[in-house]
Every structure is written in structure tokens, then in C-alpha cells.
Amino acid sequence: MKIYCISGLGADKRVFQFLDLPKHKMVHLEWIEPEPKETLPQYALRLAEKIDKSEPYALLGLSFGGMLAIEIAKVYHPQKLFVLSSITGKKEVPLLHRFAGAIKLPEIIPAQILKTPNFLTYMAFGLETPESKAMLDDILEQTNPNFLVWALGAIFNWKNETEVQMTRIHGSKDKILPVNMKNEKYRIENGGHFAIIDRAKEFSEIINKELLEFG
């Protein structure tokens, strides 16, 4: 089965490089330029134009990509939806994020400051290895500042209240998007927001198990 993958904010397909899904074909949806004042759902549906909907497929979204995957799934109903290290709707947007959206903080702070990594960034993302830190440094360096400002505003003002069926995988120590995962089936113990890098084996095992019915 094809798995259409949407990476996190500013990130690229390298964040999925350690996933081991040998029976399935991973197709990476590359970012497109957002239109002026475009909402997250509007952007998601334009991104979905790249999906071949004539055959069964799965959607896999990481962080910001998980929110986009949810918006796509609401309209196109993939056979399987995986939401990794992400929130699922308005109720889970952290209070601080909502406040930042209300005062339009992403438009106030220079994008270059948001793109500059430091020890607090590594701590927030739960990064411990030199390799994962180097990857984040490179991802932030290559992130388009205009896209970053738009995406942060879209996240902070996301209004989704529609529940969709999904397989959710989330780290118990995610500081970027902290959610209550105590009763969730797939909780990565002590996993941070970048757990897909450091704990890829666990993510792979879960995804492969969930896709067994599709061969």
C-alpha cells in the first residue's frame, strides 16, 4: 500500500528515513507555497491534490503534518490514518499557543530568531544524540521563513472539532505539543517531539502492525 507522508513544520522527508516499512511504499508530499491568508484546512486540500485517490492508500502525518493529514482525511477518507506527535483538534491546542495566535506572535518575532536552534530548542524537541541535533539544525536552516510564519499562525488558530478514526502515536514527554496520552493505545514512554528519529523502531512496529490487513 502507498503511504503518503507529510512531515512536520519546516521539516522534510529525512524525518522518516529511519522508519522500516518494507511491505509498503512511502510517498512524501512536498510542501507547496501557502497562499495569502490561507487556512490550515485550505492548504491541506491543495496538498491533497498530489494524492492518487484512485487506489487504496494510507496517510501519515507528523506534528504539523498530522494536522494536515486530519484535514485531508475528513474529506477523502483514506484506508488508514496515522497521526504522529501531533494534536487532533482545537481542544488540544496548548493555551500558550492559542495566546500566541491571538496576538499574532509569529508576525511580530523575526523569523530568523524562530529558525535559530539552541539548547532550549533541543530540550523542547527531546533531542539527545548529536545526529538528531544536527538534523534539526539543518532543517531549521533550510526552512523558508515566510512558510514558518504562515504555518505557526495556522497551527495556533486551528479550529478543528471533527473527530476522525486514526492510529495515534505520541511521546509521553512531548514538550512541543503536550497531550494526555495515559489512555491512548500507542504511547511512547519518555518519547519527545522528535521521537520518530530516536525511537523509529517502535513507530515502525506499530505502523506495520496496523497495516497487516493490507498486506
pLDDT at 193: 86
Residue 209 burial class via C-beta count within 10 angstroms: exposed 0-12, middle 13-18, buried 19 and up: exposed
206's grid cell: 506499530
CATH code: domain of residue 28 = 3.40.50.1820
Burial zone of 185 (CB within 10 Å; 0-12 exposed, 13-18 middle, 19+ buried): exposed
Tally of domains within the chain: 1
Task: Yes or no: say if 16 and 194 are a contact pair by the CB < 8 Å rule.
Answer: no
- Give the residue among 28, 35, 34 at the shortest CA–CA distance from 12: 28
In which domain, by residue range, is 175 found?
A: 2-214
- The answer to which of 39-53, 63-77, 190-204 has the lowest mean pLDDT is 190-204
SS3 161: coil
- The answer on pLDDT for 13 being more than 70 is yes
Residue 92 or 100, more confident: 92
pLDDT reading at 184 higher than 50? yes
Average pLDDT over residues 29-44: 93
Average pLDDT over residues 15-28: 95
Taking 50 as the threshold, does the pLDDT of residue 103 lie above it?
Answer: no
What percent of the chain clears pLDDT 70, i.e. is strictly above it? 79
Per-residue pLDDT tens for 149-162?
A: 888 888 888 899 99
For residue 178, give the amino acid letter: P
Model confidence, pTM: 0.85
Q: Tell me the residue ranges of DSSP E strands in the chain.
A: 2-6, 25-28, 57-62, 80-84, 167-171, 186-188
CA distance 157 to 36: 15
The whole-chain average pLDDT of the chain stands at 84
